C-alpha cells in the first residue's frame, strides 16, 4: 500500500501543509488553555476535545491526501473514523455547553446569595442611621443583629 496514493481526493502538497497549520493552531490552543484561568471541569472537557481534534485533523488529512477510493477497506476505515470522531466532538461540545450552563447557574446563585446578604446589611445600617437621626435613646434603637 503506497503512502501517497496518486489518485487521492486532493493533492498531498495542498492537504498536508494545511493540516500541519491546523495541528499547530490546535496544539497552541491546548497549551494556552492549560495556563488560562478557568474551572477544572471546563478545562478537562476542552482538553479532551482538543486532543480528539488533533486525531480528527490527522485522519482527515490522511483521508483527503493519502488514501484513494481504490483502497476500499482503508478508505472506509479512515472516513468512518473521521465521521465518528466528529460525532464525538459534537457530543463534547454539547457537554461543554451544558457544563457552562451549570457553571453560570452556580455563579448566579452565589451572586444572588451575596447580594441578599449585602441588602440585609444595608437595611440594618439604614435602620440604625434612621434611628440615630430621630434621636431615639440607645435602648429603643433597633438591634445590631
What per-residue confidence (pLDDT) applies to 145? Answer: 44
pLDDT band at 28 (very low <50, low <70, confident <90, very high): very high
> Residue 12 gets which letter from DSSP?
H
On the question of pLDDT at 49 being above 90, the answer is yes
User: How much is the pTM?
Assistant: 0.77
Q: What's the mean per-residue pLDDT of the chain?
A: 91
Q: With cut-offs at 50, 70 and 90, classify the pLDDT of residue 138.
A: low
Structure confidence at residue 85 (pLDDT): 98
Cell of 45: 472537557
d(CA 19, CA 84): 19
- Percent of the chain exceeding pLDDT 90 equals 79
Amino acid at each position: 500500500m503506497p503512502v501517497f496514493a496518486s489518485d487521492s481526493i486532493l493533492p498531498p502538497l495542498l492537504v498536508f501543509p494545511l493540516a500541519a497549520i491546523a495541528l499547530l493552531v490546535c496544539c497552541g490552543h491546548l497549551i494556552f488553555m492549560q495556563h488560562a484561568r478557568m474551572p477544572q471541569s471546563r478545562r478537562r472537557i476542552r482538553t479532551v476535545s482538543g486532543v480528539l481534534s488533533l486525531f480528527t485533523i490527522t485522519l482527515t488529512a490522511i483521508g483527503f491526501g493519502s488514501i484513494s477510493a481504490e483502497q476500499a477497506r482503508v478508505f472506509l476505515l479512515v472516513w468512518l473514523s473521521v465521521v465518528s470522531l466528529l460525532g464525538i466532538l459534537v457530543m463534547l461540545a454539547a457537554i461543554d455547553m451544558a457544563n457552562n450552563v451549570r457553571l453560570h447557574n452556580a455563579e448566579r446563585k452565589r451572586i444572588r446569595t451575596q447580594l441578599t446578604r449585602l441588602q440585609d446589611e444595608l437595611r440594618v445600617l439604614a435602620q440604625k442611621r434612621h434611628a440615630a437621626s430621630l434621636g431615639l435613646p440607645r435602648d429603643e434603637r433597633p438591634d445590631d443583629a
